[in-house]
Amino acid sequence: MRKLTGKDLVVASHNQGKVREIGELIAPYGLTARSAADLGLAEPEETGVTFEENAYIKAYAAASATSLPSLADDSGLCVTALDSAPGVYTADWAERADGTRDFAYAMQKVEDKLLERGAFEPDQRGAMFVATLCLCWPDGHAEYFRGEVHGELIWPPMGTQGFGYDPVFKPEGESRTFGEMSAEEKHGWKPGGGEPLSHRARAFAKFATACLGEAGR
């Protein structure tokens, strides 16, 4: 396992919600992080068929362009009744004809497909969020960290926190959606110890332990 020794890191994303969340997670570690968008880097085409492949494409593109270690996240919503769709195409489901992304539109699309399949009851509406972090160096070496959180999809959407599909996802054991939780609640450690709540925080906890030695926490 290669350690991250410097303090400079590129967050290989143009998704401002994702950049904000990763920024919140790395803040305690004293890292100086800049996003791919802030550096004017082009968005590479995500041609992978797994979260790991797409995370590597983004991380390596940023690392090779900047000569700095880069951290990329590829994440998505996997809905059991929809055969794990949208999966790696989670962001694509939000795209409208004019090329803009509208997650209210995406959430409605998921709901419509669930209704088409007769998924009305909570036990028919299971889903999980997956996040895969890829830390890549300019020489192409990469380390991967995966986090998952299981739950159910609710309707109508609840809450205005977070981003993406957060307002329709209620994690197991919780009475609120991610959209109703603050960043601290969503990413924080669960009462009584154990894993953090969100998929991205779970992946990040693995990354921090392996590559940062949890310094700064």
What pLDDT digit, counting tens, does each position of 49-64 carry? 999 999 999 999 999 9
- Non-local CB neighbours of 115 within 8 Å, separated by 6+ positions: none
Specify the pLDDT at position 216: 40
CA distance linking residue 74 with residue 185, whole number of Å = 22
Dihedral (C-alpha) 23, 28, 128, 146: value to the nearest 10 degrees?
A: 100
CATH top-level class for 8-212?
alpha beta
pLDDT tens per residue across span 66-106:
999 999 999 999 999 999 999 999 999 999 999 999 999 99
**SS3 category, 90:** coil
- Report pTM: 0.88
User: What confidence tier does 6 reach under pLDDT thresholds 50, 70, 90?
Assistant: confident
* CA angle, 39 then 40 then 46, to 5°: 105
The residue written with tokens 């085409």 in the block is: 45
Burial class (CB in 10 A: 0-12, 13-18, 19+), 86: buried
Tell me which residues are annotated as active site.
74
Q: How many CA atoms lie within 13 A of 96 on its CB side?
A: 9
- Non-local CB neighbours of 104 within 8 Å, separated by 6+ positions: 157
> Strand (E) positions, the chain?
8-11, 32-35, 70-79, 126-136, 142-153, 169-171
